[in-house]
Amino acid sequence: MGFTATIIGRPNVGKSTLFNRIIGKRVSIVDDKPGVTRDRIYGQVEWRDKKFTLVDTGGIEPGNEDIIFSKVLHQVELALESTDVIVFLVDGKEGLTPIDEDVAQILRKSKKPVILVVNKVDNFETQSETAFEYYKLGFGDPILISAAHGVNIGDLLDRIVGYIPDEEIAEYDEDVIKIAVVGRPNVGKSSLVNSILGEERVIVSDIPGTTRDAIDTLFEYQGKKMVLIDTAGLRRKSRVKEDIEFYSNLRAIGAIERSDVVLMVIDATSKIAEQDKKIAGLAHEEGKAMIIVVNKWDAVEKDDKTMNKYTEEIKEEFKFAEYAPVVFVSALTKKRVPKILELIEFVMNYYTFRVEKKILRELLDEAMTIVPPPVIKGKRLKIYDAEQIGIKPPTFSFLVNDPEILHFSYQRYLENKLREKFGFEGTPIFFKIKKKE
Ligand code: GDP
Ligand code: GDP
């Protein structure tokens, strides 16, 4: 996840308005669990070539002062434990309240940078006169904004990214295979990482790119350099299950972004959860290769059909990533753990596979003869030019008469033809459809 900024403040100061103003629609995962984490959401922000994750702690309903205070405190505690910068939001219309002052006192004692933001400054001229009131909180210059009207949001973003160190994340050479190990808490990620690394692997160097959120281990497998990005190794102190899950998701996002291959670890002894699908969905959207690792297979009562049945279920649940191979392992007994490394090599071949232009053209012509593209509004799809423009993941560009008539279903058909012919196992395939002018 990299660098994180968390918005805290009492209810109604405008946290979600600010969050939405900054993130727009690019919210990656919404945590819609009831209870403490209700509404707690986060999204990726890019500002002046720097990236960070913005968290909105939200989710506190107005009510009794004492209850609100204890809930805000809980959010503050979590934020202090898990974030790099705190965006402390107060209400410029209502002015400071006792809760604001109490929160400020706690924040002052922590060592985290705090940016004091006064929201609802809709009328800058009259309201900035009262800004001196906020200096007494002890966080230096407050930033006066209007989240609703989008005033001074850029200043706030400048302040946030000002705290991001230049080289937050280690870069590896292009030929190093980067493997993210992700999954819900307790599925066995740590055990699996240990089990993979324990097997006579030569560990080249420990923790070169270790960030606050993941431990990287560089090792060699059959002459190839690989790095395991382990998000499980670091654990938050939080005792609340939803909180642990929330932060484990945040870390998964960061690890996925940095990876080539995602090992999507699920637990054979528990049902496939929404959370599993969200994480896998992210890997798919980010264009990462994926292997679904079903762990704790030792603990499942099985006969000769169990594996097939389970595979079918997984293919159904992870329909958007049907290409992902499934492997059944036990980190405990190490059964089939070596198979994971074989699969990584296998899917990397497809992840970096290139199709020659001439062969691609032949394949498309043939596919379009077998099932001609549909006629829509009197027009039939024409593909004037097609070529592969990238790898990791394989990305194809089509120059067509009208992108609108290249329906999703037909695109899917062409994708399947590509897969039939070349395999492309474990990797998503991206298409860029351009209109011929
Ligand atoms: P949260 O509980 O802190 O997440 O607060 P919300 O984002 O839900 O906002 C609470 C209320 O304040 C809503 O009615 C918003 O429309 C309003 N609000 C948010 N930002 C501004 C602002 O810049 N100016 C004004 N006048 N109202 C705002
Ligand atoms: P993480 O939170 O995903 O890193 O999960 P851990 O590696 O900490 O494992 C969570 C629990 O599952 C621990 O009690 C492990 O002993 C157990 N566990 C991990 N892998 C296996 C496995 O393959 N089989 C069984 N039966 N238990 C496992």
Q: Is 147 in the pocket of ligand 1 (CB under 6 A)?
A: yes
CATH number at residue 372: 3.30.300.20
d(CA 350, CA 427): 7
* Same-domain pairing of 412 and 270: no
Q: What SS3 state is found at 356? A: coil
Mean pLDDT for 410-436 is 94
Residue 55, in any domain of the structure: yes
- Six-digit token pair at 331? 């980190």
CA of 235 to the centre of ligand 2 (A): 14
Residue 170, in any domain of the structure: no
CA of 99 to the centre of ligand 2 (A): 42
* Same-domain pairing of 144 and 219: no
CA of 295 to the centre of ligand 2 (A): 8
Domain that holds residue 421: 357-435
Q: Cα dihedral angle (159, 29, 211, 187), rounded to 10 degrees?
A: 160
Domain boundary among the residues 330, 352, 374 is at: 352
Main-chain dihedrals φ then ψ at residue 379, nearest 5 degrees? -115, 140
Q: Which of 37-41, 130-134, 318-322 is most confident?
A: 318-322
Please name which ligand lies nearest the alpha carbon of 127: 1
Q: Is 190 in the pocket of ligand 2 (CB under 6 A)?
A: yes
Residue 243, in any domain of the structure: yes
Nearest CA to ligand 1 atom 2: 12
Q: Is 295 in the pocket of ligand 2 (CB under 6 A)?
A: yes
Give how many domains the chain has, as a whole number. Answer: 3
CA of 246 to the centre of ligand 1 (A): 25
Predicted TM-score (pTM) of the model is 0.68
Domain boundary among the residues 163, 194, 226 is at: 163
* Same-domain pairing of 69 and 149: yes
Q: Is 296 in the pocket of ligand 2 (CB under 6 A)?
A: yes
Q: Show the CA angle centred on residue 228, arms to residues 226 and 232, nearest 5°.
A: 180
Q: For residue 422, count CB atoms less than 10 angstroms from its CB and return exposed for 0-12, middle for 13-18, buried for 19 or more.
A: middle
H or E, element range at 254: helix 241-258
Q: Is 300 in the pocket of ligand 2 (CB under 6 A)?
A: no
CATH number at residue 289: 3.40.50.300
Residue 341, in any domain of the structure: yes
* Same-domain pairing of 14 and 140: yes
Known binder of ligand: residue 319? no
CA separation (Å) from 175 to 182, 196, 286? 22, 20, 19
Instruction: Say what percent of the chain tops pLDDT 90.
Output: 48
* Same-domain pairing of 340 and 373: no
Write out pLDDT tens, residues 256-287: 988 999 999 999 999 998 889 988 998 999 99
* Same-domain pairing of 347 and 381: no
* Same-domain pairing of 94 and 215: no
Write out pLDDT tens, residues 34-92: 333 344 577 788 888 888 888 887 656 666 777 778 888 888 887 887 789 999 999 99
CA of 328 to the centre of ligand 2 (A): 14
For ligand 2, what atom is nearest to the CA of residue 329? 23
Mean pLDDT for 210-234 is 76
Residue 169, in any domain of the structure: no
* Same-domain pairing of 240 and 341: yes
Residue 114, in any domain of the structure: yes
Domain boundary among the residues 352, 385, 401 is at: 352
- pLDDT, residue 20, reads 86
User: What is the ipTM for the molecules in this complex?
Assistant: 0.62
* Same-domain pairing of 29 and 119: yes
* Same-domain pairing of 248 and 146: no
Determine the residue type at 177.
I
Q: Is 232 in the pocket of ligand 2 (CB under 6 A)?
A: yes
Q: Centre a 10 Å sphere on the Cβ of residue 273 and count the other Cβ atoms it contains.
A: 15
Contact present, 298 and 333 (Cβ < 8 Å): yes
* Same-domain pairing of 241 and 309: yes
* Same-domain pairing of 27 and 133: yes
Main-chain dihedrals φ then ψ at residue 424, nearest 5 degrees? 50, 40
Residue 172, in any domain of the structure: no
Residues whose CB falls within 8 Å of the CB of residue 412, separated by 6 or more in sequence, listed in order: none
d(CA 22, CA 37): 21
What separation, in Å, do the N-terminal and C-terminal C-alpha atoms of the chain show? 40
- pLDDT, residue 131, reads 77
